[in-house]
A and B are shown apart, each in its own frame.
Chain A
Amino acid sequence: MGANPSVTVKSMRNAFADEVTQLAKADSRVVLLSGDIGNRLFDRLRAASPDQFLNCGIAEQNMMGVAAGMGLSGLRPIVYTITPFTTIRCLEQIKIDVGYHNSPVIIVGTGSGLSYASLGPTHHSLEDFAIFRAIPNLQVLAPWDAKSLRACLRMSIESSSPTYIRIGKKGETDLSADNTVPAIGDGLCLQPGKQVCILTTGTISSEAALAAKSLVQQGVSAELVLMHTVKPFSESVIGELLERFDAIVTVEEHSKVGGFGESILSLIAQRGLQKRVEVMGTSDVFMPVVGPQEYARQYFEIDADSIVRVALRVCQ
């Protein structure tokens, strides 16, 4: 696609550390539980609010149970480690201790999706939406940049509902710019259009944004809508888009099985609508080779060029 000189990138990881430091200062209920990760990242928090930071070691089942117990005792714990280890490694603790008890725990998965592509499938997280969509009480949020992450954290604490927030690592494109980050359940329309709607969630939104611009340059009126809320499913927002568009492309850095796109297909099927839809996500294989995140996105054909190709196809 070529580099865009006007693009600003910010680290979601650093934004997370900064936001948590501010939140902990303002709200004594906020406690960060880290799974022995983020060397130096939380130094400011530890200096400012030493009682509100706990390194729980490499013991994620316990960490999640501890967080649930804290949530039931009036605190607002935030659990933080690399996505696979704060999700499926301690899945039953999330289902029972957090979900069933409706304990107000915020689970943050850093380096989600293919952020750690070069570390291999042990560090990829491409099944978390599918699994968490099926756990009652749990909100699932996938902010697209540093600003939307900060907003998601604040909204999660205010909601008092157990929430999973899936974030990137570093170098995420600042897509929010001066826009207000929408409330949980709402979308952000970054580019209005008429022919095709590109609906995207999480950090892959930057590829969708590049694709949307490219489509306009090719004379296609493409709308781009960013959703951070995977669950609760935004039936009104998605329903409104389905009324306006016959051609829809969904984009997520997650398996095509059980993810964001499938939730939209499900609504289309429930309503008996005839639409041209393509769900873009990772295919049902482990990626056996290494490479940077950009390479991994090309490997799974969810990069900007692939999105353009697919969008042109559904427009025809």
Chain B
Amino acid sequence: MKSEPFSISQLEAVSKLIRFLTIRNSHLTGTPHLGSCLSCTDLLVWLYWNILRLDPQNPKASDRDRFILSKGHAAPVLFQVLAQRGFYSSDALEFYGQPGSVFGEHPPTPSHLAGIEAATGSLGHGLPMGLGMALASRITKNPYRVFAILGDGECNEGSVWEAAMMASAQKVSNLTIFVDYNKWQATGRSDEVLGLAPLAEKWRAFGWACMEIDGNSFEEIESAYSCLVKDDRPKAIIAHTVKGKGIPFMEDDNNWHYRIPTADEVRHSAEILGISADQLQLDGRKPLSHG
């Protein structure tokens, strides 16, 4: 089911491609939340290339690991990841955002798209559902693992903390979450909108094994997971990330929560990411107009 893990440099190359495809798609389809996509791209690439036990040819295998993108508005990057991992062909994404397409701003349900475990988009739903899947693994004696990425803004939702308490009470050991701590939510700094900090201490106080890392560093992601994997508590990795990571003119600028890049900005991003001109494929594609 799983081949050799990718090296750091291989992972970095995949990340660059995924970032580019996501930026290009945002331009072509008018899909927002680019900043939110770029902050968690490295976490997704690490999970999908080196950790998750998945078979794209058999996406419903009962012993598969489960991954939930609880911050569902980062679906545009997940859609690119799933295509690159072979859950569907990249051609399927040609219809992204067209009327009738399943590819939009949020993940559809598992019945509608292979590789998706939960239709998120309303925040605070992914962790409880993932907890249910983790508990089901124990009840059915089927030892798969469950992973989720939550947003820092998402941690405003009370249901996140309800799930946190139940996971520790039930001593769920096969559940690992990442908080994509990019320091922004839709309209402000996440530490200012609500009292989020100190975030790692909160998860520890709720009974979770918790580490803080640079969430845009594969070395740190890998090392934190290796450190926590044997812990029998639920695991939270507070991933300090940069919104818009990888594209200097987008980094830590919350306008990119909603802004759509122009063709020039896509070309500029391609240069930054080392994407060759023949991969640009902007010509002949008319951007969709979104109200």
Contacts and interface: CB of A to CB of B under 8 A. Distances in A.
A193 interface: no
B231 to A, nearest CB: 22
A105 B111 CA distance: 16
Contacts of B165: 57, 59
Contacts of B130: 69
B287 to A, nearest CB: 30
B75 to A, nearest CB: 15
A73 B140 contact: yes
B140 A57 contact: no
Given A69-B131, A74-B136, A101 B122 contact: no
Contacts of B129: 65-66, 68-69, 72, 97
Residue in A28, A64, A69, A73 with the greatest tally of chain B CB atoms within 10 Å: A69
A17 interface: no
A172 to B, nearest CB: 31
B166 A56 contact: yes
B162 A61 contact: yes
Nearest to B140: A74
Is chain B's binding surface mostly helix, strand, loop or mixed? helix
B71 to A, nearest CB: 15
Interface in A58-99: 59, 61-75, 77, 92-93, 96-97
A97 B125 contact: yes
B110 interface: yes
B59 interface: no
Contacts, number: 106
Is chain A's binding surface mostly helix, strand, loop or mixed? helix
B119 A101 contact: yes
Nearest to A55: B169
- Which interface class (under 10, 10 to 19, 20 to 34, 35 or more) fits A? 20 to 34
B124 interface: yes
A73 B110 CA distance: 12
Given A54-B170, A69-B132, A70-B135, A96 B162 contact: no
A65 B118 CA distance: 11
Contacts of A96: 119, 122, 125
Given A62-B159, A66-B166, A75 B140 contact: yes
Contacts of B62: 74
A100 interface: yes
- Which interface class (under 10, 10 to 19, 20 to 34, 35 or more) fits B? 20 to 34
A235 interface: no
B163 interface: yes
Contacts of B124: 61
B117 interface: yes
Contacts of B166: 56-57, 59, 62, 66
Contacts of A31: 139
B139 A62 contact: no
Contacts of B122: 92, 96
A65 B136 contact: no
Contacts of A56: 166
Given A66-B131, A101-B119, A73 B136 contact: yes
A52 interface: yes
Interface in B128-162: 128-140, 158-159, 162
Residue in A31, A64, A65, A75 with the greatest tally of chain B CB atoms within 10 Å: A65
B174 to A, nearest CB: 12
30 contacts: A52-B139, A56-B166, A57-B169, A61-B124, A62-B163, A65-B125, A65-B127, A65-B132, A65-B159, A65-B163, A66-B128, A66-B129, A66-B132, A66-B135, A69-B128, A69-B133, A69-B135, A71-B132, A72-B110, A72-B117, A73-B132, A74-B62, A75-B136, A75-B140, A77-B132, A92-B125, A93-B128, A97-B125, A100-B119, A101-B110
Interface of B: 62, 66, 109-111, 117-119, 122, 124-125, 127-140, 158-159, 162-163, 165-166, 169-170
The 8 closest A-B CB pairs, nearest first, are: A69-B132, A65-B128, A73-B136, A62-B162, A59-B162, A66-B132, A69-B129, A61-B159
